[in-house]
Amino acid sequence: MTGPVRGTAGDDRPEGTAAGGDPGRPPAGGPRRSGLRNPERAVRGLGAGTLILEALVLVLAIQPIRMVGGDLGGAAIGAVLALAVAAVLLAGMMRRPWAWHAGTVLQGLLMLAGLLHWSLLALGVVFALVWVYALHVRRVILG
């Protein structure tokens, strides 16, 4: 059954809803329900997916940056590859609570790489905003 689980017979309120209560609010003293079967796993998937997408964009952006932007040197390419590898490694470690903090540091490092080329700063700002949104979703779901 895909619909909400119902309470007692003749009671048309979803289970966990107090009499006269708001169905979107948890019962008093009860855990907050997100509607997900495994909220921790969903949030880990969001963080890992964000980091994998970031790594993919970083690696695929090397050649266009070189062609359009001009002076993308060896140090900048090395920094991009190092950040992409770090993002992939962090994506695999999202079960650990410190990985979220490390992901935030990674976004700062990408923006700092903007000192090597302006386009890396632009990518850093975009992915920092995406990461802030992922952190917001994590906070809303897990509390």
CB 23 within 8 A of CB 16: no
| CB contact burial 44-55 (16+ within 10 A = b; e otherwise) | bebbbebbbebb
How much is the pTM? 0.74
Question: Any idea what DSSP says for residue 113?
Answer: G
Q: What angle do CA 72, 77, 79 make, to 5 degrees?
A: 120
Beta bridge partners of 14: 6
User: Rounded mean pLDDT of 33-42?
Assistant: 83
pLDDT at site 31: 59
Which residues lie below 8 Å from residue 81, measured CB to CB, with a gap of 6+? Answer: 58, 59, 62
